[in-house]
Amino acid sequence: MEGAPDEELMLAYKAGNAGAFETLYARHRARLYRFVLRAVKARAVAEELFQEIWMRVIEARARYAPQARFTTWLYTIAHNHLVDHWRKRGLSLVALDGEELPATGDPDPADEAQAREALARFAAALDALPALQREAFLLHEESGLSVAEIAAATGSNEEAAKSRLRYAMAKLKAAINDG
């Protein structure tokens, strides 16, 4: 089952093959973890959310139907958990999505000190992205989702997904060139 597509592995797991899940988990664990970590920017919270997302995958296996790529399904679950997380913290995704709002990330003092280093600038720029723009960028860059898949995973339309991604990339590009 090592070379089997994700969807086939998930169906095998649904049928009771625990080994199929292990293969699937090995494929996606690192990227999903980084996606969550960079979305919430706190390791402890990221680990908790990461575990909840996989638990949700396990619980939802009986209802799984390969209507889209497994990756899209997985990141839809991840997105929903992030939304819940932000809501619990009183953050509004809609407000954070607004272009006119200032960046919400508070750069670490250490990052400020190394501001001249390009990588630090890039990291700060990523942290400073509005949540939905950062999510769109991470889904695209880390998880390899297309604009249509980002729209599907985040429950938005393609125009909105494309717009968020374009804004995010423009800001990150500016951070790189701003040296």
Site membership for another protein, residue 25 (CB under 8 A)? yes
Site membership for another protein, residue 165 (CB under 8 A)? yes
Q: In whole angstroms, how far apart are CA 136 and each of 19, 39, 85, 144?
A: 31, 10, 17, 11
Nearer to another protein, 24 or 131 (CB): 24
What is the closest distance, in whole angstroms, from the C-beta atom of residue 115 to another protein in the complex?
15
Options 141, 143, 151, 154; binder of another protein; rule CB under 8 A: 141
Q: Which stretch binds another protein (CB under 8 A): 68-76, 79-87, 91-99, 162-170?
A: 162-170
Q: How many positions of this chain bind another protein (CB under 8 A)?
A: 38
Site membership for another protein, residue 6 (CB under 8 A)? no
Site membership for another protein, residue 54 (CB under 8 A)? yes
Site membership for another protein, residue 135 (CB under 8 A)? no
Q: In whole angstroms, how far apart are CA 92 and each of 12, 82, 102, 137, 168?
A: 38, 12, 14, 19, 18
Listed residue (126, 156, 158) closest to 142, CA to CA: 126
Options 29, 95, 157, 178; binder of another protein; rule CB under 8 A: 29
What's the Rg (C-alpha) of the chain? 17
CB distance 72 to 152 below 8 Å: yes
